[in-house]
Amino acid sequence: MMLWVFQQPVRIAGMDILKTVHVGSAMLSITGFVLRGAWMLQESPLLRARAARILPHVVDTVLLVSAIALALRSAQYPLVHAWLSAKVLALLAYIVLGSIALKYGRSRRVRLLSYGAALGVFLYIVGVAVTRSPVPGL
């Protein structure tokens, strides 16, 4: 049973609030990732600060919940719609690459390559979301 809140878009000034929350949290997420990546490259102690460890989880939880709500409301599901499947698989790659870049990479080179790859995957995710095609640009 779908929650009634997700059945129809809630609009304020003509904007879908749920989609705005999703896009806004995606922007906050990538901004935080870029900032933490810069700290990683500078070997800054800020990367280990409490806020830098907690806030990304809060933002990414909002991002994930809004994504699930959008999928439920629009009745578009991974494994049914190719573009959404591609987005979910790319998200998993982004998470793995981001983890290697910021935490698990054993050398600066591995962290830097993972960081660049994660940014590339993020751009792919945005392309898929905008075009609703697993191959953006075609």
3-state SS assignment for residue 60: helix
3-state helix, strand, coil in the chain (%, to 5): 75, 5, 20
Q: For the segment 35-74, what is each residue's pLDDT rounded down to a tens digit? A: 999 999 999 999 999 999 999 999 999 999 999 988 888 8
Q: For the segment 106-124, what is each residue's pLDDT rounded down to a tens digit? A: 999 999 999 999 999 999 9
DSSP string, 5-23: GGTS--EETTEEHHHHHHH
Looking at the DSSP bridge assignments, the partners of residue 16 are: 11
Tokens read off for 88: 């979910």
Tell me the mean pLDDT in the region 6-30. Answer: 79
15 phi and psi angles, rounded to 5 deg: -110, 135
State the average pLDDT for the chain.
Answer: 89
